[in-house]
Structure 1
Amino acid sequence: MKKLSLLLVAFAAMVFTSCETDDIEIVGGGTQNDFILSGNLIENTTLTAGNPYVLNGPLFVKSGTTLTIEAGTTITAQAGGTSVYLLVETGGKIIANGTAASPIKFTSTQQTPAAWGGIILNGKALISGQAATGNEAGTEVNASLLFGGSDDADSSGSMQYVIIEYTGARIDGEAEHNGLTLNGVGSGTTLSNIWIANGDDDGIEFFGGSVNASNIFVLNAKDDMFDFTQGYRGTCTNLYGIRENGYNAVTSDPRGIEADGNLDGNSPTDLNQSVFTINGLTIRHEANTVDFSDLIKVRRGATATITNALASTSGTATASDFVDLEDSKGDSTAATSIDVTAGGTADGTDLKNAPGATITVTASNTGADTSAFSWTGYVF
């Protein structure tokens, strides 16, 4: 095993600079050729393709620091549940730009959902709260690590052509890791061509912020495929979510889209609640023994504009609601507008609308463009 402190040792195949030895904690295991990653990253670092990286604990990219990951690099998380994850703190950056031919991959030594935590980006963009600007909140996995602020143009870096799999370790009964968690992430961040597979909670969740995202593919999420909350105000383009037949792991209320204006509906008077757009969306629920709560759910003060959506069920897979804009903690706003086609066996008449909101069920939407995901090799 090579005990790699990320910053202590220079190898010809990698770019590292020196730091104090106690900045990084190196923990157990691995083969002789593994590079073990964990601890606090305090100087700019590049991980190069071809080296066997093992994430063996929490890795924190600190403020002012950039972690660069070359195209074709694989990072394997040691199965360890909630204690193994990558977190880019506010002021830190990740540059993980793969290519269609050489994507970057985050996987695990144990190829099952919840084998490790996931990836978290913390930014300085607006989140919902009682103040017009500057609201902050604690990260679910570590409440002392704050996110949010007043810089909607903040950048947490770039992630393109990235695979994230076997994530979602549960922290407790109320909190859990997602495949990709975006906390107050600003519009200066690039998120495009990301495949999130076989996670034990949400595929991707936006907690406030203004980051835009495109070509996001979620395969087999135990809970929600795409989750928006706490004042998210960006645009997502070409989202595709599938629950395959046979993927029966399920929470009490799985959904294709779940959107709240404020966090958990507990702050209905918050300013800057979620106002977001999705252009091009496909939700496919094919697990014959699983009942979705809703294919699309927008509630609790959220405003969604969704165009060219296609939501389907097949076989004996069911959904309690096709589109639901109502909730005991508050409906969606009247400005919500959803244009959707019912595919397969989905019941396009099973609608719960909020006063003034618009749900248009049409017959001809095509949904997300699958050609954008050809690089994954998945057969749609």
Structure 2
Amino acid sequence: MKKTILSIVTIASLVFTGCSLSEDDNTPVDGGVITAQNLAGNLTSDLTIKSGIAHNLTGALLVKDGATLTIEAGTTINALAGGTDVYILVEKGGKLIADGTAANPIKFTSSVTSPKAGDWGGIILNGNAPLSRQSGSDSNAATEIKNSILFGGSDAADNSGILNYVILEYTGARIDDEAEHNGLTLNGVGSGTTISNIAIFNGDDDAIEFFGGTVNATNILVVNAKDDMFDFTQGYAGTCTNLYGVRENGYTAVTSDPRGIEADGNLDGNSPSDINQAKFTINGVTIINNADGVEMSDGIKIRRGAIATITNAYLVLGSGAKFGDVIDLQDSKSDADDATKITAVASIANGLDITDVKNTVSGGATITLTTGTTGGADKSVFAWTGYSF
């Protein structure tokens, strides 16, 4: 059977190294279109995945330079649970076109009937956009979960594809204490890429993390991230609009320092003399901790040379939930840049203390925090997810 399948792939002019097609599909490939597939391996030419049947992600799927993976609206991809090597990685020069609709979103989820956070890795896009770096050095860095594959470059307008109306569930498989998957990892992704209408549920690490790059993101819903909801580092220089993050009551899984927003100017604060430190904007963000008995380290944490401009932020605590600090701009390695400006509203219900704020040690950043019961992201745009707010 294996020889037959490889013959079909060859006839269809596809190069999909290490790929295993479904045993019960008599016509798995039709002119470069996959109708039923166990997906894994190296994709080196264009491929379209059809909707109408569940597909299986059984290992690492690498979209190589020059190849485009297109996933039709309404498609569900079930990721094999239990392995750290189950993920999709789009390399520099490759593209992922996952352009769903509100009526027919694209879903990536766990393969098991009783799924849990960390069942599989997630989606990684590697682009050619700039990163923080030492002056005179190349703008390249190693992918956290696969160091042999690099990301970053000099093309701020680089295009890694489209993710629109996409749901990611049960991501975040951990490789070891130093390396783990996020739900969606954007490595040096350029502004030519579309990231919009994304929902990330029940992840075992960060929900979404931006490592440098210039990509903009709009309408991002995060529910129950074990670590950070929204993470920015390594020179990220884009704009995010309408972010909504919530930790539900009863969701008690935490790392040592879970946060709503975390931002570093350079990678882990280890290169304070880097050029192109993170300088980004967030317009409209809601951070809610509803988990009784769980303390999130910070609602918003900006540090290590990052410059953040955040407007219309809204922070809320449920009964028994806590923030270590509502807003914190200090860090032992280095504080946020004093050009940081944050305008936020906090609900003082359930013990939220708006004095739990730390400006930079110099006091030079601008923090405007008032009390109220409205503000932040427009949650109505997430109706397509079916999530009950």
Q: Is residue 236 from structure 1 mapped to residue 240 from structure 2 by the alignment? A: yes
For 1:191 and 1:143, how far apart are their aligned partners in 2?
24
1:118 aligns with 122
Assess if the C-alpha contact under 8 Å between 1:4 and 1:36 holds in 2. Answer: no
Does 205-214 or 1-10 show the bigger shift? 1-10
2:97 aligns with 95
1:282-331 CA deviation, whole Å, 9 max, x = no partner? 00001112111101000000000000000111100111100000000100
Amino acid in the other structure paired with 1:146: L
1:341-375 CA deviation, whole Å, 9 max, x = no partner? 11233221100001210110123551000111011
Aligned 1:290-369 pairs, distance under 5 A: 290-343=294-347, 344-345=349-350, 346-354=352-360, 355=362, 356-364=364-372, 366-369=375-378
Amino acid in the other structure paired with 1:371: S
1:116-161 CA deviation, whole Å, 9 max, x = no partner? 0000000000000103674100001111100001000000000000
Backbone CA RMSD of aligned residues: 2.1
Assess if the C-alpha contact under 8 Å between 2:236 and 2:277 holds in 1. Answer: yes
Aligned 1:143-182 pairs, distance under 5 A: 143-182=147-186
1:103-122 CA deviation, whole Å, 9 max, x = no partner? 00000113110000000000
1:149-199 CA deviation, whole Å, 9 max, x = no partner? 100000000000000000000111111100000000000000000000000
**Secondary structure at the counterpart of residue 310 of structure 1:** strand
Amino acid in the other structure paired with 1:92: G
- Offset at residue 377 of structure 1 (A): 1.1
2:192 aligns with 188
For 1:144 and 1:131, how far apart are their aligned partners in 2?
23
**Secondary structure at the counterpart of residue 371 of structure 1:** helix
Q: Is residue 55 from structure 1 mapped to residue 57 from structure 2 by the alignment? A: yes
**Secondary structure at the counterpart of residue 135 of structure 1:** coil
1:24 aligns with 18
- Offset at residue 52 of structure 1 (A): 2.1
Assess if the C-alpha contact under 8 Å between 2:200 and 2:221 holds in 1. Answer: yes
Assess if the C-alpha contact under 8 Å between 2:132 and 2:139 holds in 1. Answer: yes
The runs of 5 or more residues in structure 1 that have no matched partner are 11-15
**Secondary structure at the counterpart of residue 372 of structure 1:** helix
Assess if the C-alpha contact under 8 Å between 1:26 and 1:37 holds in 2. Answer: yes
1:36 aligns with 38
The runs of 5 or more residues in structure 2 that have no matched partner are 26-35
Assess if the C-alpha contact under 8 Å between 1:132 and 1:271 holds in 2. Answer: no
Q: Tell me: CA distance 1:26–1:303, structure 2 relative to 1, closer, same or farther (3 Å).
A: same
**Secondary structure at the counterpart of residue 96 of structure 2:** strand
Q: Is residue 379 from structure 1 mapped to residue 388 from structure 2 by the alignment? A: yes
Match of 2:141 among 119, 137, 140: 137
For 1:214 and 1:132, how far apart are their aligned partners in 2?
33
Assess if the C-alpha contact under 8 Å between 2:15 and 2:44 holds in 1. Answer: no
1:13 aligns with none
**Secondary structure at the counterpart of residue 374 of structure 1:** helix
Amino acid in the other structure paired with 1:178: N
- Offset at residue 82 of structure 1 (A): 1.0
1:11-45 CA deviation, whole Å, 9 max, x = no partner? xxxxx942457x22439xx7845520000001100
Does 288-297 or 54-63 show the bigger shift? 288-297
For 2:82 and 2:255, how far apart are their aligned partners in 1?
21
**Secondary structure at the counterpart of residue 373 of structure 1:** helix
Assess if the C-alpha contact under 8 Å between 1:3 and 1:35 holds in 2. Answer: no
Q: Is residue 283 from structure 1 mapped to residue 277 from structure 2 by the alignment? A: no
What is the aligned-residue identity percentage? 62
Assess if the C-alpha contact under 8 Å between 2:66 and 2:93 holds in 1. Answer: yes
1:68 aligns with 70
For 2:388 and 2:282, how far apart are their aligned partners in 1?
24
For 1:5 and 1:249, how far apart are their aligned partners in 2?
43
Match of 2:219 among 215, 220, 230: 215
Does 233-242 or 102-111 show the bigger shift? 102-111
Assess if the C-alpha contact under 8 Å between 2:95 and 2:159 holds in 1. Answer: yes
Q: Tell me: CA distance 1:257–1:46, structure 2 relative to 1, closer, same or farther (3 Å).
A: same
For 2:3 and 2:346, how far apart are their aligned partners in 1?
53
For 2:355 and 2:12, how far apart are their aligned partners in 1?
60
Q: Tell me: CA distance 1:330–1:68, structure 2 relative to 1, closer, same or farther (3 Å).
A: same
2:263 aligns with 259
Does 306-315 or 354-363 show the bigger shift? 354-363
